[in-house]
Structure 1
Amino acid sequence: MEEQIIKTEYSDVMQKSYIDYAMSVIVARALPDVRDGLKPVQRRTLYDMYELGIKYDKPYRKCARIVGDTMGKYHPHGDSSIYESLVVMSQDFKKGLPLVDGHGNFGSIEGDGAAAMRYTEARLQKVTQEAYLGDLDKDVVDFIPNFDETEKEPAVLPVKIPNLLINGADGIAVGMATNIPPHNLGEVIEGVQAYISKPDITTKELMKYIKGPDFPTGGRVVNKDELLSIYETGQGKIKIRGTVKTESSKNGKDKLIITEIPYPMIGANIGKFLNDICTLVESKKANEIVDISNQSSKDGIRIVLDLRKNSDVEHLLNMLYKKTKLEDTFGVNMLAVADNKPETMGLKEIIKRNVEFQIELTTRKYKTLLARELDKKEVQEGLITACDVIDLIIEILRGSKNIKDAKDCLINGNTANIKFKSKASEKSAGKLCFTQRQASAILEMRLYKLIGLEIEALIKEHEATLKNIALYEDILSNRSIMLKVIKKELEAIKKEYAVPRKTVIENAAEAVYEEKKIEEQEVIFLMDRFGYTKTIDTAAFERNKEAVLSENRYVFTCMNTDKICIFTDKGMLHSVKIIDLPFGKFRDKGIPIDNACNYNSSEENLIYVTSLGNIKNRQLLFTTKMGMMKQVDANEFDVAKRTISATKLNEEDELISIDIMDGNQNIVIQTYKGVFLRFMSEEIPQKKRGAIGVRGIKLGKDDYIEEIYKFYENTSINITYKEKEISLNRLKIAGRDTKGTKARV
């Protein structure tokens, strides 16, 4: 076969491939289906447990078995994603309605991970079995081939409640993400019933039933008035606060007890919350707090803050709301897969889609049930008729040579191959016309069925079948009756599984917190040779001036409202507020500078330390080991971030010097091999902090810059190099980026 080369625009191929990949992730991995509210991995895990018979009233089975079976049959994307999904579906602090009953260590609200799947066990919850998987045997959903077409799996589970709202969802796809809060089961069912009764109901009217999110961790939603807009558009931000109680003791000391946390705080954020409080205490912004204890257990959250006597509790609470995660936001984006495409939906649209799905499920369910009842009716009528002529049937059976002849006589009245005792019997047999199914049932019928009571039971069963047929036909032919059936099923689920609301919905005043203004004063910054830093007042400095200067590497005056700028050889700038450094006596030890900012003394070295106020509106001269130089406006380092890149460096280069420049000065570069180069600073251009700079000197092989000197014209400056005194002002002025002059020693 001749080879064919198809010429295609590369961008078109990439675009198509990327879109195909994106849609695969969106539809088949990351987003839930609006109908059952489940992602594919969740749906497949639950179905596999159903197939394995791991029901709520059966013994637990190892999670490793469930994960392995799911991966082998339905979800070939790795065991970790399946097990993680299984764990989350069992965690009552993440799901409003857990779908899996876990046995063993399935993690904690404080972020502890679950034990390995070989140690834990699981089974289906009763509600999952009844409301999520109950009608799978009634042909209510389509089954599709699995990944290798060796098994069949449901395209969607026949979930009878809006799981998308009840359990919420979160997931990150390609270019989009979903984040749906959980809601109260009873309220959602009431909302669905209200929609069924009044399809043109407004979102505002629906919110009389569904008041807002109901998070498993409780807490308080404090922007009630914004919920209507969120539920209409499917997008917005919900503000959540933890629940805090105040306890007073006889000695006048209060305690703040946090009993419920905002939903986004679950996991590692609880530890971060405690660290944030500690930071506030250490920085003396929360002096009211004298002790913090986390007394949380399996019974619930209990974080206790012991306060000083006569503390301003309201002020402290407002600070915690503003400065910690005690008040947080839940970003709502109600995105789900509908009709095989992602769609952002409001509350009413999700309920509408769910009701349409329920109607489809109910229609298919009762069609299946009707077909089964019609089959039963046919067989029952055949058996009842057979009981009326049982003597004739027995005669036919005894006179037949084989089952084929007997069956042919029962169905077609063919008596040719059958011996009868009389012509009357033969004539009666010729009138028989049972159906194929009836004939098979008659031939399979056992003799005890001919007992009088058994015949009566058969007749009653037939009457019940006729009633069921009439009922199912009414349901299928009358939409209002079908909707009543759906509402009745929902009511039964609500009655058995609804629980009281945990989250309070209210409008609360915005937390107002103003930091106390710092009384501005002049202080002296000290850093010793071991990197310990502190600040002292100017009076203490004057009293101990000689000792201060001899014992410290960096000493300078600054304002306590200023920031310290720490430049390192890696070209980084670390900032720390002076107010965050200890202020005290000269002989106080201070704290390591590593603890006050992101500087790491084991990985980088200090090059220059100063305050932002000392360099503001001035030019800084940067010099690197390999000879790159530039002038930078110091105002570029007045940033909010604690760590930024101060300059760009070439590979294997490092920063060796930063100097403050005042006008045009003489610059002298001294290299390791004793080469000196003098030129004017105006030859060094001003650059941005993100630039590398220009070359200051042409270095010889294995040489590098060791020192930088600067001085004004007509100034005498002498240095000692290898025991020989050199007058820098006598060096010949050359140009930047030349080789320089070798010192004679």
Structure 2
Amino acid sequence: MQDNIIRTEYSEIMQKSYIDYAMSVIIARALPDVRDGLKPVQRRTLYDMYELGIRYDRPYRKCARIVGDTMGKYHPHGDSSIYEALVVMAQEFKKGLPLVDGHGNFGSIEGDGAAAMRYTEARLEKITQEVYLQDMDKDVVDFVPNFDETEREPAVLPVRIPNLLVNGADGIAVGMATSIPPHNLGEVLDGVIAYMKDNRITTEGLMKYIKGPDFPTGGIVVNKDELLQIYETGSGKIRIRGKVEIEKGKAGKILLVITEIPYTMIGANIGKFLNDVASLVETKKTTDIIDISNQSSKEGIRIVIELRKGADAENLMNMLYKKTRLEDTFGTNMLAVADGRPEILSLRQIIEYHVDFQFEVATRKYQTLLAKEQEKKEVQEGLMKACDVIDLIIEILRGSKNQKQVKDCLIQGITEGIRFKSKASERAAKKLAFTERQATAILEMRLYKLIGLEIEALLKEHEITLANIARYEDILNNYDSMANVIIKELTAVKKEYGRPRRTAVENAAEAVYEEKKIEETEVVFLMDRFGYTKTIDKATYERNRETADGESKYLFTCMNTDKVCIFTDKGRMHSVKVQEVPYGRFRDKGTPVDNLSNYDSTQERILYAGSLESVKASSLMFITKTGMIKQVAGEEFDVSKRTIAATKLSGEDELLFVGMSDPMEYVVLQSVNGYFLKFLKEEVPYKKKTAIGVRGMRLGEKDALEEAYLLENRSEYTIVYKEKEVTLNKLKLAKRDTKGTKIRV
């Protein structure tokens, strides 16, 4: 057989394969479906528990059995992801509405992990069975083949509430992520009912019912006025605070008691919060905190911070909001799979998709019920008709040789081969015209059904069947009737499973913390090549001068009340208060500058760092890769913002060099193609930080600046360029905006 070789671009295959992989992760793994608000692994786990009969009123089953069955039948992506999904669905502190009833160690709010699946047990919650999995036998959702086409699984569960809002969602796909906060069940159902009564209702109208997120950990949402914009666009930042109460302790001491925490603090962040408070004491940010203890239990959160007598509790509370994660932001991005593709949805769109889905489920349910009642009606009418001619039917049965003869006679009136007592009976038999289903029911009918009372019961049952058919047809043909049925079901769900709101929603003023004036002293700032920063006192530096100079990329003396200015290749300046930089021993590793500022070491590179006072006292030279150059007065960088644009860049240009220009006399620019240009610093004009600058060197096509130097006249500066020593001071002096001299190697 001849091989058929297909030639194609490797890049095209990689692109197509990656897109296929990305879409698989997005649709089939990481993002929830807007209809049932579940990711595939959650949906498959719940359906498997339903199939195994692990109901809320039956014994618990080992989680290992559930996980193994789910993995073998529906989700062949490893047991850890299935068990993790099962655990999260059972954790009350993560889900507004737990869907699984866990028995055993399912972890804690403080970040303790669940026990191994062989030790824990689970079963469905009552609400899961009654609201998420009800009517699965009524053809309400489509079933699709599983991964190996040996089983069938539901494409979506017939969830009767907007689970995407009630339980929220989080997941990271390829190039996108979803983060939806949980909401109060009763409020969400009120919003759905309001939409069904008036589908022109706006997001603002819906928010009269849905006040905002309702986190299982409580807390306070403090940016109420911003919620409308978040719910209209589907993305934004929700600011949440923990709830703090002031109590009186022993000997006149004051206690700050944290009873509710931000949703973002659950897990390891509670321990980090305790460490952050301890760090505030260690770094002398406050001397009013005596002790901190975590007294949390199964009854709830209780973190107690003991203050010294006479401390300003309100000011300390504001310090905790400003300096720790007691106030945090929940980044909202309401991304879900809608109509088979990922889409960022507004609050109104989520409810709209949900209501459309409910009508689809209800339509399929009542179509199934109607079909069953119509079948029942057909059988009942056949039996009633058979009662009227029962003697003839008995005669046909006695005169027939087999069941087929009887059926043919009952359905088509065929009498050949049947012995009748009289010609009149045969003529009557030829007029029979029962349906297939009626004939089968007649043949299966027992003799006791001929009792008078049984016939009366059949007539009453027929009346009920006709009433059901009329009701189902009304529901299917009348929008208002179906809407009323759905609203009645939602009202019943709210009545049984609704609970009071846990999270308060309000507009709160930004926490203002008045820092106590610290004693001004001189320190030495050190930053190594990995971006780890620290400050030490001058005496310590003098004792370790040689080591410090060798290990540090940036090292300078400054006051502890000063700021550090960090300039990057993206044209930004990040500032850090010296007081926020860890102060301690020389051998301490320090803290990454990423953690102290908005600087991101994965996106930008530091070109220069210096104290604000030294920057203000000098001028800075900015040089870009495309050869643009300017000087900027240092006073322009004395700003309150933590991050600013230090210079303007055009197109894809990047900063190549930032440095103090005041003590220098010459500028040397070196291009990739080996051109060197030396000119006087005075030729570089002063510009505002918002200006691009002027051209420093005329570059050839496909050439760019590679290095830049500032030189003093009295000191020699030699570099090695392609294994050849070049003394920069001896280069020929030229004019700015010229091509320069090419160095031959």
Q: How does 1:301-340 map to 2 (within 5 A)?
A: 301-340=301-340
Once the two structures are TM-superposed, the CA of residue 181 in structure 1 deviates from its matched residue by: 0.6
Measure, in 2, the Cα distance between the counterparts of 1:279 and 1:27. 43
The answer to whether the Cα contact below 8 Å between 1:90 and 1:100 also exists between their aligned partners in 2 is yes
The answer to whether the Cα contact below 8 Å between 1:273 and 1:326 also exists between their aligned partners in 2 is yes
Name the SS of the counterpart of 1:401 in structure 2.
Answer: coil
Name the SS of the counterpart of 1:392 in structure 2.
Answer: helix
Q: How does 1:323-722 map to 2 (within 5 A)?
A: 323-521=323-521, 559-561=559-561, 593-594=587-588, 682-685=716-719
The answer to whether the Cα contact below 8 Å between 2:409 and 2:429 also exists between their aligned partners in 1 is yes
Measure, in 1, the Cα distance between the counterparts of 2:290 and 2:589. 22
The answer to whether the Cα contact below 8 Å between 1:106 and 1:120 also exists between their aligned partners in 2 is yes
Once the two structures are TM-superposed, the CA of residue 417 in structure 1 deviates from its matched residue by: 2.3
Cα deviation digits, residues 673-713 of structure 1 (max 9, x gap): xxxxxxx973544xxxxxx999899xxxxxxxxxxxxxxxx
Once the two structures are TM-superposed, the CA of residue 398 in structure 1 deviates from its matched residue by: 2.4
The answer to whether the Cα contact below 8 Å between 2:315 and 2:514 also exists between their aligned partners in 1 is no
User: Structure 1, unaligned stretches of length 5 or more?
Assistant: 526-532, 542-547, 565-574, 583-589, 600-610, 619-634, 642-661, 664-679, 686-691, 698-745
The answer to whether the Cα contact below 8 Å between 1:576 and 1:597 also exists between their aligned partners in 2 is no
Residue 298 of structure 2 corresponds to which residue in structure 1? 298
Measure, in 2, the Cα distance between the counterparts of 1:534 and 1:237. 37
Name the SS of the counterpart of 1:279 in structure 2.
Answer: helix
The answer to whether the Cα contact below 8 Å between 2:523 and 2:536 also exists between their aligned partners in 1 is no
The answer to whether the Cα contact below 8 Å between 1:184 and 1:214 also exists between their aligned partners in 2 is yes
Once the two structures are TM-superposed, the CA of residue 216 in structure 1 deviates from its matched residue by: 0.6
The answer to whether the Cα contact below 8 Å between 1:102 and 1:122 also exists between their aligned partners in 2 is yes
Q: Which amino acid aligns with 2:294?
A: N
Measure, in 2, the Cα distance between the counterparts of 1:613 and 1:153. 64
Once the two structures are TM-superposed, the CA of residue 49 in structure 1 deviates from its matched residue by: 1.1
Cα deviation digits, residues 252-311 of structure 1 (max 9, x gap): 211111111000111111110111001011112132111111111111111111111111
Q: Which amino acid aligns with 1:16?
A: K
Against the structure 1 CA distance between its residues 363 and 560, is the aligned structure 2 distance closer, same or farther, given a 3 Å change threshold? closer
Against the structure 1 CA distance between its residues 410 and 504, is the aligned structure 2 distance closer, same or farther, given a 3 Å change threshold? same
Measure, in 2, the Cα distance between the counterparts of 1:192 and 1:83. 32
Cα deviation digits, residues 346-394 of structure 1 (max 9, x gap): 0001111111111111111111111111001111111122223323322
Residue 228 of structure 1 corresponds to which residue in structure 2? 228
Measure, in 2, the Cα distance between the counterparts of 1:478 and 1:524. 79
Once the two structures are TM-superposed, the CA of residue 482 in structure 1 deviates from its matched residue by: 1.2
Measure, in 2, the Cα distance between the counterparts of 1:234 and 1:355. 18
Name the SS of the counterpart of 1:251 in structure 2.
Answer: helix
Name the SS of the counterpart of 2:28 in structure 1.
Answer: helix
Residue 106 of structure 2 corresponds to which residue in structure 1? 106
The answer to whether the Cα contact below 8 Å between 1:259 and 1:303 also exists between their aligned partners in 2 is yes
Name the SS of the counterpart of 1:468 in structure 2.
Answer: helix
**Mean Cα displacement is larger for which, 401-410 or 498-507?**
401-410
The answer to whether the Cα contact below 8 Å between 1:74 and 1:147 also exists between their aligned partners in 2 is yes
Measure, in 2, the Cα distance between the counterparts of 1:11 and 1:554. 48
**Structure 2 residue 42 is matched with structure 1 residue 42:** yes
The answer to whether the Cα contact below 8 Å between 1:560 and 1:579 also exists between their aligned partners in 2 is no
Residue 270 of structure 1 corresponds to which residue in structure 2? 270
Measure, in 2, the Cα distance between the counterparts of 1:185 and 1:549. 64
Measure, in 1, the Cα distance between the counterparts of 2:98 and 2:336. 20
Residue 199 of structure 2 corresponds to which residue in structure 1? 199
Measure, in 2, the Cα distance between the counterparts of 1:153 and 1:492. 28
Measure, in 2, the Cα distance between the counterparts of 1:42 and 1:579. 43
Once the two structures are TM-superposed, the CA of residue 399 in structure 1 deviates from its matched residue by: 2.4
The answer to whether the Cα contact below 8 Å between 1:221 and 1:238 also exists between their aligned partners in 2 is yes
Against the structure 1 CA distance between its residues 580 and 17, is the aligned structure 2 distance closer, same or farther, given a 3 Å change threshold? closer
Q: Which amino acid aligns with 2:317?
A: L
Residue 568 of structure 2 corresponds to which residue in structure 1? none
Residue 736 of structure 2 corresponds to which residue in structure 1? none
Q: Which amino acid aligns with 1:413?
A: G
Residue 77 of structure 1 corresponds to which residue in structure 2? 77
Cα deviation digits, residues 704-743 of structure 1 (max 9, x gap): xxxxxxxxxxxxxxxxxxxxxxxxxxxxxxxxxxxxxxxx
Name the SS of the counterpart of 2:588 in structure 1.
Answer: helix
Measure, in 2, the Cα distance between the counterparts of 1:681 and 1:414. 123
Against the structure 1 CA distance between its residues 234 and 454, is the aligned structure 2 distance closer, same or farther, given a 3 Å change threshold? same
Residue 180 of structure 1 corresponds to which residue in structure 2? 180
Residue 3 of structure 2 corresponds to which residue in structure 1? 3
Against the structure 1 CA distance between its residues 125 and 536, is the aligned structure 2 distance closer, same or farther, given a 3 Å change threshold? same
Measure, in 1, the Cα distance between the counterparts of 2:122 and 2:250. 49
Name the SS of the counterpart of 1:245 in structure 2.
Answer: strand
Measure, in 2, the Cα distance between the counterparts of 1:509 and 1:576. 24
**Mean Cα displacement is larger for which, 555-564 or 459-468?**
555-564
Once the two structures are TM-superposed, the CA of residue 593 in structure 1 deviates from its matched residue by: 3.2
The answer to whether the Cα contact below 8 Å between 1:376 and 1:465 also exists between their aligned partners in 2 is yes
Once the two structures are TM-superposed, the CA of residue 446 in structure 1 deviates from its matched residue by: 2.0
**Structure 2 residue 281 is matched with structure 1 residue 247:** no
Against the structure 1 CA distance between its residues 162 and 578, is the aligned structure 2 distance closer, same or farther, given a 3 Å change threshold? closer
Q: Which amino acid aligns with 1:593?
A: R
Cα deviation digits, residues 649-669 of structure 1 (max 9, x gap): xxxxxxxxxxxxx99xxxxxx
Cα deviation digits, residues 106-130 of structure 1 (max 9, x gap): 1111111111111111111111111
Residue 709 of structure 2 corresponds to which residue in structure 1? none
TM-score scaled to structure 2, two decimals?
0.74
Measure, in 1, the Cα distance between the counterparts of 2:402 and 2:176. 69
Against the structure 1 CA distance between its residues 226 and 693, is the aligned structure 2 distance closer, same or farther, given a 3 Å change threshold? farther
Measure, in 1, the Cα distance between the counterparts of 2:154 and 2:487. 25
Measure, in 1, the Cα distance between the counterparts of 2:389 and 2:124. 50
Q: Which amino acid aligns with 1:37?
A: G
Once the two structures are TM-superposed, the CA of residue 447 in structure 1 deviates from its matched residue by: 2.5
Once the two structures are TM-superposed, the CA of residue 561 in structure 1 deviates from its matched residue by: 4.7
- Aligned residues, how many? 598
Q: Which amino acid aligns with 1:485?
A: V
Q: Which amino acid aligns with 2:252?
A: G
Once the two structures are TM-superposed, the CA of residue 448 in structure 1 deviates from its matched residue by: 2.7
Against the structure 1 CA distance between its residues 695 and 329, is the aligned structure 2 distance closer, same or farther, given a 3 Å change threshold? same
Name the SS of the counterpart of 1:237 in structure 2.
Answer: strand
Residue 148 of structure 1 corresponds to which residue in structure 2? 148
Against the structure 1 CA distance between its residues 330 and 149, is the aligned structure 2 distance closer, same or farther, given a 3 Å change threshold? same
Identity %: 71
Measure, in 1, the Cα distance between the counterparts of 2:250 and 2:78. 59
Against the structure 1 CA distance between its residues 424 and 281, is the aligned structure 2 distance closer, same or farther, given a 3 Å change threshold? same
Name the SS of the counterpart of 2:49 in structure 1.
Answer: helix
Cα deviation digits, residues 444-469 of structure 1 (max 9, x gap): 12223233332222221111110011
Name the SS of the counterpart of 1:144 in structure 2.
Answer: strand
Q: Which amino acid aligns with 1:3?
A: D
The answer to whether the Cα contact below 8 Å between 1:535 and 1:581 also exists between their aligned partners in 2 is no
Measure, in 2, the Cα distance between the counterparts of 1:333 and 1:119. 36
The answer to whether the Cα contact below 8 Å between 1:283 and 1:580 also exists between their aligned partners in 2 is no
The answer to whether the Cα contact below 8 Å between 2:211 and 2:505 also exists between their aligned partners in 1 is yes
Q: Which amino acid aligns with 2:263?
A: Y
Against the structure 1 CA distance between its residues 561 and 134, is the aligned structure 2 distance closer, same or farther, given a 3 Å change threshold? same
Name the SS of the counterpart of 1:291 in structure 2.
Answer: strand
Measure, in 1, the Cα distance between the counterparts of 2:221 and 2:360. 36
Against the structure 1 CA distance between its residues 523 and 464, is the aligned structure 2 distance closer, same or farther, given a 3 Å change threshold? closer
Against the structure 1 CA distance between its residues 506 and 597, is the aligned structure 2 distance closer, same or farther, given a 3 Å change threshold? closer
User: Structure 2, unaligned stretches of length 5 or more?
Assistant: 526-534, 550-555, 565-575, 594-609, 619-633, 635-640, 643-662, 665-713, 726-745
Q: Which amino acid aligns with 2:388?
A: D
Measure, in 1, the Cα distance between the counterparts of 2:420 and 2:25. 72
TM-score scaled to structure 1, two decimals?
0.74
Cα RMSD for the two superposed structures: 3.6
Against the structure 1 CA distance between its residues 577 and 151, is the aligned structure 2 distance closer, same or farther, given a 3 Å change threshold? same
Q: Which amino acid aligns with 2:62?
A: K
Q: Which amino acid aligns with 1:418?
A: I
Residue 737 of structure 1 corresponds to which residue in structure 2? none
Once the two structures are TM-superposed, the CA of residue 102 in structure 1 deviates from its matched residue by: 1.0
The answer to whether the Cα contact below 8 Å between 2:522 and 2:537 also exists between their aligned partners in 1 is no
Against the structure 1 CA distance between its residues 549 and 51, is the aligned structure 2 distance closer, same or farther, given a 3 Å change threshold? closer
